[in-house]
Amino acid sequence: MSAELAEQVRRRRTFAIISHPDAGKTTLTEKLLLFSGAIQIAGSVKARKASRHATSDWMEIEKQRGISVASSVMQMEYRDCTINLLDTPGHQDFSEDTYRVLTAVDAALMVIDAANGVEPQTRRLLQVCRARNTPILTFINKMDREVQEPLALMDEIERELGMTVVPFTWPVGMGKVFGGVLDLRKDQMRVFSPGEDRVAGTEEIVQGLGNPALAERFGMAYEQAAGEIELVREAAPEFDHAEFLAGHQTPMFFGSAVNNFGVQEVLDALVDLAPAPGPRAALQRTVEPDETKFSGVVFKIQANMDPAHRDRIAFLRVASGKFSRGMTMKVVRSGKTLRPNTVVTFMSQKRELLDEAYAGDIIGIPNHGVLQLGDTLTEGEALQYTGLPFFAPELFRSVEVADPLKTKQLRAGLTQLGEEGAIQVFRPMMGSVLLLGAVGQLQFEVVAHRLEHEYGVKARIMPARFNVARWVTCETGEGAAADEKELKRFIDGNSHRMALDAVDAPTLLLEYAGELRAIQENWPKIKFHALREHA
Ligand code: G4P
């Protein structure tokens, strides 16, 4: 390890924003970029979203696929830190992709619409963060509207997320009488003034939470806030950084993203509180981020803008060492070496950053299928990072080609789409019809469309009788040979409802979830998994 590497790692912050659609993720993203100086004019991120708005229209999504490559990772410099912000696809049918993006971040910023509280999409994403103990910062947005009482919101978040909420700021009033926030740690009030054009450092600050001028100016709203703060101080524990890093406590901030209010505190909190990249678990050993040798893991694959060329961009999170342009990397799974001439890096203020990357940074590697989801790249060491989740699909369709001469193209197309994570493809052990598994209905439509336009295959997507999938493994406790034997016995005995997935993992397919219990009783040594981690 070198001092330079250690310093570069210390300066990195990599996070994602999680929220329910319309809570203000796009607005906040844009304001974070604005406040860090990464963009000069508000509007650029929003423009992108505007065209993405028609989420029910999958043609739009198709069109957007290319565009979103460039903006799915945003890098900004703030204070002495390099901050990587990873976009999470908003539409819930793409949530699987989102889950995988969350494996590449060190912290999450949860944006909650103060009127709506904790919404379903937030809850699901939070579960993933919780499972990984990802530290979470909370931003309560839209305080300029008539919203829920802050105490009620705090209570709801604690209850829903099973996490202790520690307010860093507290709102004075809301909606028309939103006066600003009391900063509990700096002992001051930042006064709200509406407007989209304000920049950092132009807020009016009144020193002293007990300053009589505040009561005079904000009257009832201030009195109420002061009373609530007293309650909160009695009930809520002190902020404990270790508890935050362990995902047990979340610092909470109030603001209004559209009015640029509360945005800078969030940026500061990311720098001050969110962790720098830490060690990562591989099957073989734990890897430190400041080790000299480069390594990284592919967490997302996206088809490129030009479907005719079928090139794809693999998004790789650097886990250790330093990436330099032109370096040779080994794909551990296949043993192939890769020396990409072009590596896509992302929106950044500083050009020189584009040529190198450190732990926590994301690089995009164009390739024609050499890279798959979950792949580990190293300078030569045989390492395989763990933890990239695949979820058991909840929807199934069978797929056939209209023109039997195109069967080969169908298989090729589906293999590629499967590797990209766009859909899960299962090959039943009996019969020749391929099965598609998805988490959201929209995935089937996108796949049919892409098969036709990128692979020239008109596919018939038809109902399938399965509704449940479980990956199966075996634990006899008597060693690998016994495990294998028992697993084979299970597979042979259930071949009419067994399939292999993209990486040949055996999968049990069922019509009803209820069947699972009886099967488990008959096969006590077989384990059924709703989640597979790439390994
Ligand atoms: P999303 O990415 O989470 O889906 O949300 P987005 O930022 O697009 O925000 C959703 C809507 O909420 C937008 O309004 C946006 O302007 C508004 N919004 C965001 N932050 C605030 C806030 O602090 N206060 C208020 N009052 N509204 C906020 P829209 O009508 O859908 O779009 P637009 O007409 O403003 O472009």
* In contact, 136 and 164? CB cutoff 8 Å: no
Does residue 326 have a known ligand-binding role?
no
Give the whole-angstrom CA distance, residue 127 versus residue 299: 19
Which of 3-7, 120-124, 158-162, 304-308 has the lowest average pLDDT? 304-308
The size of the chain, in residues, is 535
- Say if residue 169's pLDDT is above 80: yes
* In contact, 111 and 88? CB cutoff 8 Å: no
**Residue holding tokens 């993209």?**
502
* Distance (Å) from CA 257 to ligand 1 centroid: 8
Mutating to test ligand 1, I would choose from 19, 22, 51, 68 the residue with most ligand atoms within 8 A of its C-beta, which is 22
CA atoms within 13 A on the CB side of 165: 24
- Say if residue 207's pLDDT is above 60: yes
Which of 63-67, 215-219, 267-271, 418-422 has the lowest average pLDDT? 63-67
Q: Strand, helix or coil at 89?
A: coil
* Distance (Å) from CA 75 to ligand 1 centroid: 22
pLDDT in tens, 481-503: 999 999 999 999 999 999 999 88
**Confidence at residue 350, expressed as pLDDT on a 0 to 100 scale:** 46
Strand 81-86 and strand 12-19: pairing?
Answer: parallel
Give the whole-angstrom CA distance, residue 156 versus residue 158: 5
Highest mean pLDDT: which range of 199-213, 335-349, 512-526: 512-526
Q: Which atom of ligand 1 is nearest to the CA of 257?
A: 23
**What integer is the mean pLDDT of 85-113?**
82
**What integer is the mean pLDDT of 3-14?**
96
Q: List the beta bridge partners of residue 367.
A: 312
- Within 420-525, strands assigned E span 424-428, 434-438, 459-463, 468-474, 498-500, 506-510
Give this prediction's pTM. 0.85
Reading the block at residue 471, the tokens are 């990956």
- Single-letter amino acid code for the residue at 515: E
**Confidence at residue 366, expressed as pLDDT on a 0 to 100 scale:** 83
* Distance (Å) from CA 371 to ligand 1 centroid: 37
Closest CA relative to residue 320, chosen from 283, 364, 359: 359
Residue 116 — pLDDT band, cuts 50, 70, 90?
very high
* In contact, 118 and 157? CB cutoff 8 Å: yes
pLDDT in tens, 507-519: 999 999 999 999 9
Give the whole-angstrom CA distance, residue 460 versus residue 382: 41
pLDDT in tens, 180-194: 999 999 999 999 988
- Going by alpha carbons, the residue nearest to atom 19 of ligand 1 is 24
Give the whole-angstrom CA distance, residue 111 versus residue 73: 18
- Identify the H or E element spanning 125: helix 120-131
More confident residue, 88 or 217: 217
Residue 352 — pLDDT band, cuts 50, 70, 90?
very low
- Say if residue 109's pLDDT is above 50: yes
**What integer is the mean pLDDT of 218-232?**
95
* 201-203-206-208 Cα dihedral, nearest 10 degrees: -60
Q: Which atom of ligand 1 is nearest to the CA of 255?
A: 23
Mean confidence (pLDDT) of the chain: 87
Reading the block at residue 45, the tokens are 């991120």
Q: What is the ipTM of this complex?
A: 0.97
Which of 56-65, 157-166, 271-280, 515-524 has the lowest average pLDDT? 56-65
Q: Which residues line ligand 1 (CB under 6 A)?
A: 19, 21-27, 49, 90, 141-142, 144-145, 256-259
- Say if residue 274's pLDDT is above 90: yes
* Distance (Å) from CA 340 to ligand 1 centroid: 39
Residues sharing a CB contact under 8 Å with residue 487, sequence separation 6 or more, in sequence order: 472, 473, 474, 506, 526
User: For residue 130, what is the DSSP state?
Assistant: H
**Residue holding tokens 């069947």?**
515
**Confidence at residue 527, expressed as pLDDT on a 0 to 100 scale:** 95
Closest CA relative to residue 301, chosen from 386, 375, 214, 229: 375
**Confidence at residue 336, expressed as pLDDT on a 0 to 100 scale:** 95
Q: Which atom of ligand 1 is nearest to the CA of 49?
A: 8
